[in-house]
Structure 1
Amino acid sequence: MPAVMTAEELSRFMKEVFAQVADDFAVDEVGEGTLTMRLLTQDRHLRPGGTISGPSMFALADVSAYLATLAMIGPQALAVTTNCSIDFMRKPKAGVDLVAEARLLKLGKQLSVTDVMLYSSGMAEPVARATLTYAIPPRKAA
């Protein structure tokens, strides 16, 4: 199934419904059930020791799963995270963007399941892996 929203449309949607954090993220590419995006890291995303914080990494994983789902079903602001499991594997580099590669594993009428790999920009090995489940709200009758 081809995507129904482009990277530009997803970015506009984020600015409309999540203006408070939209400028932290950039959508790079949308494919069939895939999405690549990045956290535009700044000092506020760092933890003591100068590495990207776990909550910032979680935010990127969560937003990428959300947008990967919406790319396939269209804009539904009320889709919500119902489950997340994240493994932090390596220390991310400070001073570079964090990149998410999201892949939908299942897209149903009520749930989507997404696998997300996180990388420090320029680093071959992943820094984290997350699996997220999203609840999709029922479509309203026309």
Structure 2
Amino acid sequence: MTIEGGKATPVMTIAALETFLHGAFPQAFGPGKPHHIETIGPRTATIRLDAAEEHLRPGGTVSGPALMALADIAVYVALLAQIGPVALAVTTNLSINFLRKPAPGAIFADARLIKLGKRLAVGDVGLRGAGDDDLVAHCVATYSIPERPAMG
């Protein structure tokens, strides 16, 4: 991670992240899969879920587990964009508040890292429907970052 003007500059591009995620998590990323990286920035990422029939619960709304997975993925992508491809960075806590029913279709998760340390990262995520600024859910997630060998 590099620091420019007090902000962390991503060390991975969207293309590099997509390649890594397709290899590490082919069930969620890659051609024909529902999750897509929209943007990355200094300690931020936006992920889109194309919520289809398999993501819905009775009543025609996007399910809680689908929203939780989307939020978790968004923090993971924001983290990897900053630290590089560390597959074994894992979620240690995730808390989500469901605010209103999201309609089927595109759901966006806007993540930002509010703490990025050597061993822990904490991210804040707002989830919203396409063309809507009102949040459908809000999430806070903590990731454990494994110790990495010293470069030398």
Q: Structure 1 residue 6: deviation in Å?
A: 1.3
- For residues 20 and 35 of structure 1, the distance between their equivalents in structure 2, rounded to whole angstroms, comes to 20
2:21 aligns to what? 14
Query: Equivalent pairs: percent with the same residue?
Result: 48
Q: Kindly state the Cα deviation for residue 15 of structure 1 after the two structures are TM-superposed.
A: 0.3
Task: State how far apart, in whole Å, the 2-side matches of 1:51 and 1:64 are.
Answer: 20
* Deviation (angstroms), 1:24: 1.8
For the aligned residue pairs, the C-alpha RMSD in angstroms reads: 0.9
Flag structure 1 segments of 5+ consecutive residues without an equivalent. Answer: none
Paired with 2:95 and 2:20, the residues of 1 have a C-alpha distance of: 26
TM-score by length of 2: 0.90
Distance in 1 separating the partners of 2:133 and 2:119: 35
The DSSP-based 3-state class of the residue aligned with 1:77 is coil
Cα distance per residue 1:8-38 (max 9 Å; x no partner): 2111111010001112210011100111111
Partner of 1:89: 99
Could you tell me which residue of structure 2 aligns to residue 120 of structure 1? 129
Task: Give the conservation status (yes or no) of the 8 Å contact 1:8–1:27.
Answer: no
Based on CA coordinates, which of the two structures has the bigger radius of gyration? 2
Which aligned pairs between 1:1-142 and structure 2 lie closer than 5 A? 1-22=8-29, 23-94=33-104, 96-142=105-151
- What is the aligned length? 141
Distance 1:120 1:8 in 2: 24
Larger % of strand: which? 2
Tell me if the contact between 1:35 and 1:101 (Cα under 8 Å) persists in the aligned partners. Answer: yes
Structure 2: distance between partners of 1:35 and 1:124: 16
**1:141 deviation in Å?**
3.6
